[in-house]
Amino acid sequence: MVGEDRERVGGTGTGRGAMWAGLIVGTAALVPRLMTASHDLLTTDENVWRMRTDRFGDAVLSGRFGDASASLVSGLADGEAGTAKAVATMPGVVPMWLGVMARGVWSVGRGLGLWAGSDSTFVESPSGLNAAQAAVAVFTSVLVGVLVILVARWLGLLPAVVSGLLVATEPFLVAHGAVFHTDELVALCGVTGLVACALAFGLPHRTPWRGRPLVAGLAGALLAGAVLTKLSGVVLLVPAALLVVWAAVAAVRARAPDVSPWAAVGWLRSTIGWLVGVAVAVALVSYPALWADPAEELRLLNNSANLADTGHIQFFLGEPTEHPGPAYYFVALPLRVTPWFLVAGVAAGALLWARAASRGTALALAIMAVPYMVAISAASKQFDRYGLPVLVVGALAIGAAAPVVVAAVRKRIGTDEPWSRRQLMFGRAVGGLLVVHAVVVAPWGIAYFNPLLGGAETAERAILVGWGEEYDATEIVTRHRRGDCDGVTVAGFAAVSALGCGTPAIDWDTADYVALYIAERQRMPDDDERALVRGRPLVGEHTVQGIIYLQVYGPRR
């Protein structure tokens, strides 16, 4: 059985070993994430989240709990915070609380004169952005450590370390672990919560943690965190419900003849009670607008839920589209992972399902991933980052298959002895290489594409690239104008970030400079692009990881 494989390779992951593994892997996750957070890498939505954080924090501190909502319109005059609300990504509770803590640290640093531009606000200051991103980096790294500890008790120490290192070092996960946004928070809270559910429900094999209130409560808190971050986290409750059904069926089948089905699931009812109770308590404590103004907040949550069906001008397989369709994530996610993750993930899935001893684990992992994959594939609004939970489950599958592979290798070389110093050194070297690769790629994991599939060249033809990072024409315009920016105008499809040379322009024809971002070039017909820049010389480009992110064209000749 799986438990036997776990015993043969690397131990059961109990006690101090699991804690040390969680600490070490969590630290390995933190290093490249903090490197990314310190790089002033600004995506399109992060300033919006800082505005939401500002208003959320002010509402909580002033006791206006009904206004502590992610839906507040930015830019309202003082005293109007509760008068207008709009559709927004909701609930947003977890990122806003992280932002409030980051704002507190930033405010202390500003008072001590530690930050550059300390006279600006949290929303406007580059150091405020760094603080918010660092808060996400620390929290997601802690979640990686917790995931390792739980997987060590669920599948064993070796699977925990392997899967944890992959989650810690995959460039796409590293990048989103340092973005002040929602997607990696949903992924790590949700999947870690599902692993805690599997432990609490004793699936696919029973461990000493089955039925423990502490584990059930942790599962409830983590799943609540996923839902409180973004409504798409609700989909992760479907796997939790399926695990409950599985546990109930298993308990009824295993009962003694004189035990009723109701009595057989008594421990399960108690476990579910702890899970739900903690989840509700977390929601009530952390989401003041929900109990202060429930009718209005529920209306806004409903409006936010409808965003999944609104569509978005995407780019898929060479064509702009609002509805990429169910094939999108099967193209986008392989492009976003490393070659070793892709190959190992496919092989692990086949291996786990082929072996009777590991089929229960394969089923548990499929339950965690498939409902979510179906939901995001059916939605009209699709982005590659929405698939992060699937990648985390993929890392768990690779970790689960690792003992089988190692046992086969050890059998082939004819050793049943405990792990030798040489074998341990090899494993540590592989882990070290993963961390080094993540550090080398950081802070540009968001621009990493699988070289096995053609890298950036393939990605630019297949999926939308760019989320606002490197949309900054300041350096190019300043250099071209030799610092003389008087009266200079710059046109772009979005507000050009931190434009310190010139002013944004609305009229593209009369603007002195035109900034074309990669995501807009991809979605723009070639004739329109040529017409837009006709007669304008190319005066500079921003290139990252082989991708031309930004092209700036000068005045017409």
Domain assignment present for residue 215? The answer is yes
Residue 429 shares a structural domain with residue 513: no
pTM: 0.92
**Amino acid 76: pLDDT:** 41
122 vs 304, more confident: 122
Q: Which of 67-81, 254-268, 400-414, 497-511 has the lowest mean pLDDT?
A: 67-81
Q: Identify the CA nearest to 191 among candidates 388, 403, 10, 357.
A: 388
Residue 410 shares a structural domain with residue 514: no
Domain assignment present for residue 120? The answer is no
Domain assignment present for residue 308? The answer is yes
**Amino acid 58: pLDDT:** 92
Q: Please give the residue range of the domain that contains residue 373.
A: 2-40+132-455
Residue 256 shares a structural domain with residue 140: yes
Residue 386 shares a structural domain with residue 491: no
Residue 411 shares a structural domain with residue 496: no
The DSSP secondary-structure symbol of 125 reads -
Residue ending a domain, choose from 455, 483, 512: 455
Q: Identify the CA nearest to 89 among candidates 186, 178, 224.
A: 186
177 close to 221: Cβ distance less than 8 angstroms = no
pLDDT confidence tier of residue 83, bands split at 50, 70 and 90: very low
Residue 167 shares a structural domain with residue 290: yes
Cβ within 8 Å of residue 60, ≥6 positions away: 68, 100, 288
Residue 419 shares a structural domain with residue 484: no
What's the order of all strands across the beta sheet hosting 489-492? Answer: 503-505, 489-492, 513-517, 547-553, 538-544
- Residue 346 CB: number of other CB atoms within 10 A? 14
Q: Across residues 339-344, what is the average pLDDT?
A: 97
Residue 491 shares a structural domain with residue 385: no
**Amino acid 81: pLDDT:** 41
Residue 412 shares a structural domain with residue 505: no
Domain assignment present for residue 169? The answer is yes
Residue 428 shares a structural domain with residue 489: no
**Amino acid 251: pLDDT:** 93
Domain assignment present for residue 224? The answer is yes
Domain assignment present for residue 76? The answer is no
Q: Which tokens in the block code for residue 134?
A: 């660092």
Q: How far apart are CA 182 and CA 194, in angstroms?
A: 18
pLDDT per residue as tens digits for the range 257-309? 888 999 989 999 999 999 999 999 999 999 999 988 888 888 888 887 776 66
What is the domain count for the chain? 2
Q: Identify the CA nearest to 154 among candidates 243, 226, 223.
A: 243
Residue 518 shares a structural domain with residue 449: no
Residue 446 shares a structural domain with residue 533: no
* Side chain identity at residue 299, one-letter code: R
* Side chain identity at residue 266, one-letter code: G
pLDDT per residue as tens digits for the range 20-65? 999 999 999 999 999 999 887 788 889 889 999 999 999 999 999 9
